[in-house]
Amino acid sequence: MSTVYDFTVKDRKGGEVSLSEYQGKVLLIVNTATGCGFTPHYEPLEAMYREMKDQGLEILDFPCNQFANQAPGSEDEIHEFCTLKFGTEFPQFAKIDVNGDNADPLFVYLATEKPFEGFGKGLKNAALSKFSDMNNKTFGDKAYIKWNFTKFLVDREGKVLARFEPTVDMKVVREAVAAAL
């Protein structure tokens, strides 16, 4: 598979969605959780979506419960939380695994294209790194994603441009998205 358009995912109701439906769009693909310290990222993500969707941006939200059980609800409960608390309008897909033997092939592809390079410097990032390592040790070499709200930027041709760990300032993500548009 050479682009994200080669993948099919499940929508939050279980229906098949070919990512080729997003051909020609700039994508920001995110694994999310409703009970995470990074959950407030929904706010700048939604603001970015509302401002840039007419220029060709799509944000694809994939809830994941593999990080300290921070997305325990059903797809409907997660969707209701996001729409009521953050007013999200961007597409939300079925809850998935991003690590281990059952990792969604899309996220295996994304993480292979742009591997983890660290959370950055600073005490908070070092603490997250230690916590992430403990959480992900059961996945071994299949710990593709290190924490919730890892974001992948994909260009209009379906190629992965960048990976942003949850510790990256959302202003940096926004600037990269704007440049890709």
Report the SS3 class of residue 26. strand
Q: What range does the domain containing 111 cover?
A: 4-180
79 vs 156, higher pLDDT: 156
pLDDT at residue 21 above 90? yes
* 100-139 residue pLDDT tens: 999 999 999 999 999 988 888 877 777 778 878 888 888 8
- What's the confidence (pLDDT) of residue 140? 85
Query: Which of the residues are catalytic?
Result: 36
Local structure of residue 11 (DSSP, 8 states): B
37 in Cβ contact with 8 (< 8 Å): no
How many domains does the chain fold into?
Answer: 1
* CATH, residue 62: 3.40.30.10
Task: Give whole-number Cα distances, 55 to 4, 172, 179, in Å.
Answer: 20, 19, 11
- What's the confidence (pLDDT) of residue 107? 97
Give the Cα separation of 28 and 51 in Å (integer).
14
Report which of 30, 154, 178, 153 is spatially closest to residue 96, judged by C-alpha positions: 30
pLDDT at residue 48 above 80? yes
Q: In terms of C-beta distances under 8 Å and separation of at least 24 residues, what long-range contacts does 101-105 make, across chains too?
A: 101/142, 103/142, 103/144, 104/9, 104/62, 105/7
DSSP string, 43-112: HHHHHHHHHHGGGTEEEEEEEB-TTTT---S-HHHHHHHHHHHH---S-BB--B--SSTT--HHHHHHHH
pLDDT at residue 153 above 90? yes
pLDDT at residue 57 above 90? yes
pLDDT at residue 160 above 90? yes
Q: Which helix (H) or strand (E) holds 4?
A: none
